[in-house]
Amino acid sequence: MHDDVETFDAGAQYIWFDLLSPIPTETKYVEDKFSIAIPTRDEMEDIELSARLYQEDGAQFMTMTMLAGLEGDEPIRTPVTFILKENCLITVRYADTLPFRQSTSRLLKGPAAISLAGEMAMLGILEAVIDRTADVLERIGREIDTISREVFRSKTSNATKKTRNLQSVIEQIGQKGDFLTAVSEGLVSISRLVAYHAAVEQPGRKMSKETRQVIKLLQRDGASLGDHAAFLSSKINFLLDATLGLINLEQNQIIKIFSVAAVVFLPPTLVASMYGMNFEVMPELRWEYGYPFAIAMMIVSAAMPFLYFKRRGWL
């Protein structure tokens, strides 16, 4: 078989067929072996719930949205389909993610590492996804705290430089917001899958106590992480509003300075305009001290509003 297909077995009983970017011959082999129709990638990407969670040919088909590339700032959404039939798990995916690698390593350690059932293998993968999501949310929380300190404890005195810094902060906030949206989508997808699997009824199926405990744990952890993601999203929205408010304050400060400057220079301009008129009878034009007097009037008329604004705290 192709290298992208891994099988894990206990003796002669296979418990997991892992189809990673399968070629047609691999897909046909699994379809013939289990008498099922494996969904195509386009079908896996359908958002309708009925196209993601259903039963067919005695098998459960459960598709969820998983995130790849969580190490960076731009995670990639990729569909993953879990198929349970005859105590065997079949996974169809198109990205190599850390939870699958961890689950593979755990299974390869030996039968004692996991219960010999495809259902438990699936739940083990979902546990790894939940753990990975928790680590990612912790990292995003730390990065959001760093952004918060940059917003509220900036020591930059230069208004232009500070505004540029805040604009950069808005870009970071946008990236974190998109990241959290993708994480929340993945958590909702997991919750739906687990809830469907717990509720589905099949002839002869009896869920063990261990399985019920694992499902409850997954549901509880998923809900807890969903609440934490919602908290981080609200914090992101607060930081965005605060950053926009600070930028408006900086811009208003600049406009205020121009307004004060215009008021301060208005009286000197009036004085200069008066003595720039071309009337024949203007006594000060022939006065020996007329020029110094006009200069003094302009300085005084500019200083008075400036000192008034300073005293009122407008500068």
Q: Specify the pLDDT at position 2.
A: 46
Q: What global pTM score does this model have?
A: 0.74
Q: Which two tokens stand for residue 251?
A: 């811009």
Greatest Cα pair distance in the chain? 119
Q: Which two tokens stand for residue 92?
A: 């169809």
DSSP single-letter state for residue 92: E
pLDDT (tens place) for every residue of the chain, 315 residues total:
444 555 555 444 678 888 999 999 999 999 999 999 999 999 898 888 888 899 988 899 999 999 888 887 788 899 999 999 888 899 999 998 888 888 877 776 655 444 557 888 899 899 999 999 999 999 999 999 988 888 887 666 555 566 667 778 888 898 898 999 999 999 999 999 999 988 886 665 677 788 889 899 999 999 999 999 999 999 999 998 888 888 887 778 778 778 878 888 888 888 888 777 777 777 777 777 778 888 888 888 888 888 887 887 766
Backbone angles phi, psi at 80, to 5 degrees: -135, 130
Q: Specify the pLDDT at position 8.
A: 53
Q: Specify the pLDDT at position 112.
A: 46
Q: Which residues contact 242 (CB under 8 A, 6 or more apart)?
A: 151, 152
